[in-house]
Amino acid sequence: MPPADLQARLAKPFVRSLGHLPRPALAKLAGPPPPAAPDLEPEAQLLARFSERSPLPRIEALPVAAARSLFDTQVDSVARREHLPVTTLEHTLPAGDVRLRARLYVPQQAPSTGPLLVYFHGGGFVLGSIATHDAPLRLLAHASGVRILSVDYRLAPEHRFPAAVEDAVAAFEHVAAQPQLFSAEPGRIAVGGDSAGGTLAAVVCQELRRRGSPLPCFQLLIYPATELFDQFPSRRAFARGFILTEEEMNWFADHYVPDRELRRDPRVSPLREPDLAGLPPAHVATAAADPLRDEGEEYARRLRAAGVSVSAYRHPHLHGFLNMTALPAARTGTIQIAGVLCHALSAVPREP
Nearest alpha carbon to residue 192 among 130, 122, 123, 118: 118
Ramachandran area for residue 314 (φ above 0: left; ψ -120 to 50: alpha; else beta): beta
Q: 282 has which bridge partners?
A: 219, 310
Residue 315 annotated in active site: no
Residue 24, preceding peptide bond in cis (omega within 30° of 0): no
DSSP state of 325: T
- Bridge-based pairing of strands 147-151 and 98-107 is antiparallel
DSSP 60-78: GGS-HHHHHHHHHHHHHHT
From 142, 255, 315, 319, active-site residue: 319
| Active-site option among 290, 294, 315, 317 | 290
Q: How far apart are CA 195 and CA 222, in angstroms?
A: 6
Q: Could you give the CA distance from residue 184 to residue 157 in angstroms, rounded to a whole number?
A: 33
Name the nearest CA neighbour of 226 among 268, 276, 278.
268
Q: Would residue 269 show up in a list of annotated catalytic residues for this protein? A: no
User: CA-CA distance, 120 to 82, in Å (whole number)?
Assistant: 21
What's the rounded Cα separation, in Å, for the pair 141 and 63? 34
- Is 319 noted as a catalytic residue in this protein? yes
Of 129, 144, 195, 269, catalytic: 195
In sequence order, what are the beta bridge partners of 314? 286
Q: Which residues pair with 220 in a beta bridge?
A: 192, 283
First to last CA, the chain: 55
Burial class (CB in 10 A: 0-12, 13-18, 19+), 189: buried
| Catalytically annotated residues | 195, 290, 319
